[in-house]
Structure 1
Amino acid sequence: MAESGASPLPPSTSPLSPRSPHSSALSRAEQFVWLTARVLEQRRFAYHFLNGGADPVDTALAAYLNEDDGYGHALEPDLRGPVSQPLHTGHALRVLDSIGRCGGQRVERACRYLSSVSTPEGALPAIHPSQRGYPSAPFVPVMDDPPSSLLATGPVVGLLHRNEVWHAWLFRATDFCWQAVESLEKSHPYEVEAAVVFLDNAPDRPRAEAAADRLGRMVREQRLAVLDPDQLDSFPVSPGYAPGEHHFPYDYAKVPESLARAWFTDEEMERSLDFLERQQQGDGGWPIRWRQWAPGTALESRPIVTIEALLTLRAYGRTIV
């Protein structure tokens, strides 16, 4: 590795097999990541859990960067092909945020890309028409004139505000997010999760808290969160979702500081975290709940989901080592 100039991965925390009864959740997940993950997720796992550096994550992420300053190459596994997409670029910003590097000229250039693919409202479409001709999940149709999407725009705007990024694109995109969130009457879990990222980071805190309170009541009224995992069948799955594609309190409140945490009682939150712990599979990874349409996309997605599960459990003080 030294001769090639590549940065070596940190040493493994445990030689135990994923199925060993004496191995921790983290060590089982580690074996799963080494076995199945892309280089980016290997580097992310090392950064978050093995004292790895940020530079290797940054280097791995750069492989997905295109000349238009957007990100592509199936960074978001359900969209294949080389072209830049808003969802890929949002994924890249989440990675940069997680290593403390969501800023500077690189992010300004990403904002220029986002501006170039925005709708007339100044927001992002879920899928830009450039995806046409490349494989993509059947549940993300490609349209010639796609509408503005809170699902795509909310997380990007939220992350940029959290990192105090100021760019002209943000003004209209922020206005769109406020209008979209405050006018929601009926929604679905992924859209609500996108709204939460925006509200958790929007500069106008009183307005965000009021909007989050209304959104939380809607989530409970429309039964968009499973409040008791032992009674899964009593909670509906949103239209268009895969069978069993339920969402839980921890999906909305990924950290205790989230505004969405107030939507759930302590007992409901603890039950959902217990369920999340139990979802670790025999191979050490966590499952994906959305519709699996190609073997490769499921394989690439599971390490991402596994890292997120471990981060959530750790954020709530659960023992993972």
Structure 2
Amino acid sequence: MAETGASPLPCTPPARSPLFSAEQFVWLTARVLEQRLFAYHFLRGDPDAVETALDAYRNEDGGYGHALEPDLRGPVSQPPHTAHALRVLDAVGRCGGQRVERVCRYLTSVSTPDGALPAVHPSGHGYPAASAAGGFPTATATATDPPAQGDSRGSLPTTGPVVGLLHRNEVWHAWLFRATDFCWQAVETLEEAHPGEVRAAVAFLDSVPDRPRAEAAADRLGRLVRARRLAALDPDRADARPVAPGHAPGTRHFPHDFARSPASLARAWFTDAEMARSLDHLAAEQQEDGGWPIRRRPWAPVPALEARSLATIEALCTLRAYGRFVG
């Protein structure tokens, strides 16, 4: 007899579809949080279950830790982990209330003098992390060593997506005022941009309330992306593009990496034909095990596997946003 109160997921993707293969990969390899998030996006899963799984990463200071961002290990709260948590809450429509108020207090407590977020807070010193080339400082000391002096500068890749998410969800907090000013200054002065900075700038511009200013900044940024050849417009000739620092040989960035949905301001940077080729390439990247590869250089087996589940969910969401068949 079936257990009373059981609530099996109400739908299953068609066999041999991209979604079916991805589902097998997720059940086989993903953390509970990504399993719940996958179920929410594609199997009519419960958002409460996603929130419950996310709570395991929350600390008493209002921030998030415990390797929520796979490339940054250790239990302590960190800005990248907390930014990741906000993305999850936004994805399930729960980015508000007392939970986000506590997050904003944490963001205030770790902000740099310019009102932004650091790439990594010095409290994480000594815990394993990806190398500087992968976006985080190398962990060469032990967890018992005293914290090193942190970088006093704000980071656009960390700050921009957080500010954008909070604006999109109409969260108003004192921390946002200076952080928004920081993002405007950083975005409007970008010249030698890294792809990660561009993606963060887009996340900010897509949601900041001043739409005319955002559209003007996005137009300038799009011309910069094309002038600096940051996007491989023809995947068949991607090897002609330079590899961004910290990425594995052969890694390139494509139009869909900057415009994750048709509603993004970055969509206007690319022609229909360029975006179609980019999405074809994204769909073809699904591997035999059902998952998508990660773009950054792997540095340890477990973080790389955890990151692949995230990359898989992101790829499916992007393809679906553009009306591509996933299952």
TM over 0.5: yes
Aligned residues: 313
Match of 2:243 in 1: 237
Does structure 1 residue 278 correspond to structure 2 residue 284? Answer: yes
Over 3 Å counting, the alpha-carbon distance change for 1:9 and 1:236 in structure 2 is farther
Q: Is the 8 A contact 1:157 1:198 kept in 2?
A: yes
**1:20 alignment partner in structure 2:** none
Cα deviation digits, residues 205-251 of structure 1 (max 9, x gap): 00000000000000001111110000011111123432122111001
Relative to 1, partners in 2 of residues 1:208 and 1:162: Cα closer, same or farther, differing over 3 Å?
A: same
Distance 2:103 2:30 in 1: 26
1:248–1:272 contact (8 Å) kept in structure 2: yes
The answer to whether 1:189 aligns with 2:182 is: no
Supply the AA of the counterpart residue of 1:13.
Answer: T
Q: Which residue of 2 aligns with 1:19?
A: none
SS of the aligned residue for 2:164 comes to helix
Residues 1:212 and 2:211 are matched in the alignment: no
Q: Give the C-alpha shift of residue 50 in structure 1.
A: 0.4
Gaps of 5+ in 1: 17-22
Q: 1:14 to 1:123 in 2, by over 3 A?
A: closer
2:322 is aligned to 316
User: 1:254 pairs with 252, 260, 273, which one?
Assistant: 260
Partners of 1:240 and 1:308 lie apart in 2 by 20
Aligned CA distance change for structure 1 residues 113 and 231 (closer, same or farther; 3 Å): same
3-state DSSP of counterpart to 2:297? coil
CA distance in 2, matches of 1:184, 1:255: 23
User: Partner of 2:65 in structure 1?
Assistant: 72
Deviates more, 1:143-152 or 1:289-298: 143-152
CA shift digits 1:31-85 (9 cap, x unpaired): 0000000000000000000011100000000000000000000000000010000
Structure-1-length-normalised TM-score? 0.94
- Residue 27 of structure 1: aligned partner: 20
Deviations 1:176-218 (A, max 9, x none): 0000000111111111000000000010000000000000000
- How do 1:80-99 residues align onto structure 2 when only pairs under 5 Å count? 80-99=73-92
Q: Which residue of structure 1 lines up, in the alignment, with residue 119 of structure 2? A: 126
Unpaired stretches in structure 2, ≥5 consecutive residues: 139-147
Paired AA for residue 206 in structure 2:
D
**Deviation of residue 15 (structure 1)?**
8.8
Q: Who is 2:143 aligned against?
A: none
2:230 maps to 1:224:
yes
Match of 2:110 among 109, 112, 117: 117
Q: Deviations over 1:263-317 (max 9, x none)?
A: 0000000000000000000000000010100000011011110000000000000
Partners of 2:174 and 2:57 in 1: how far apart? 25
Output the CA distance in 2 between the equivalents of 1:157 and 1:14: 35
Identical columns (%): 72
1:4 Cα deviation (Å)? 12
CA–CA separation in structure 2 for the residues paired with 1:89 and 1:186: 27
Separation in 1 of the partners of 2:311 and 2:300?
17
Tell me: CA distance 1:166–1:14, structure 2 relative to 1, closer, same or farther (3 Å): closer
Query: Shift of residue 144 of structure 1?
Result: 1.9
Distance in 2 (alpha carbons) for counterparts of 1:277 and 1:234: 21
Does the alignment pair 1:200 with 2:196? no
1:3 Cα offset (Å):
7.6
What is residue 10 of structure 1 aligned with on the other side?
9
Matched, 1:168 2:167: no
Letter of the structure 2 residue corresponding to residue 145 of structure 1: G
Task: Judge conservation of contact 1:237–1:244 (CA < 8 Å) in 2.
Answer: yes
Alpha carbons 2:246, 2:297 under 8 Å: kept: no
Residue in 1 that maps onto 2:312: 306
Q: Counterpart of 1:224 in structure 2: which amino acid?
A: L
Distance 1:271 1:111, change over 3 A: same
What RMSD in Å do the two structures reach over aligned CA positions? Answer: 1.6
In 2 relative to 1, CA 28–108 (structure 1 residues): closer, same or farther, beyond 3 Å?
A: same
**Aligned-partner Cα distance in 1 for 2:251–2:4:** 44
Tell me if the contact between 1:285 and 1:306 (Cα under 8 Å) persists in the aligned partners. yes
Whole-angstrom CA distance in 1 between matches of 2:114 and 2:8:
44
- What is the CA–CA distance in structure 1 between the aligned matches of 2:186 and 2:13, rounded to whole Å? 47
1:3 to 1:84, Cα distance in 2 relative to 1, 3 A: farther
CA distance in 2, matches of 1:197, 1:144: 29
Q: Once the two structures are superposed, what CA deviation does each residue of 1:116-145 show, in whole Å capped at 9, x if it has no partner?
A: 000001100010001101000012116623
Indicate which of 150, 170, 181 corresponds to 1:145: 150
Paired letter, 1:122: G
CA 1:292 to 1:9, structure 2 compared with 1: closer, same or farther past 3 Å?
Answer: farther
For residues 242 and 280 of structure 1, the distance between their equivalents in structure 2, rounded to whole angstroms, comes to 17
**In structure 2, what residue type is equivalent to 1:107?**
V
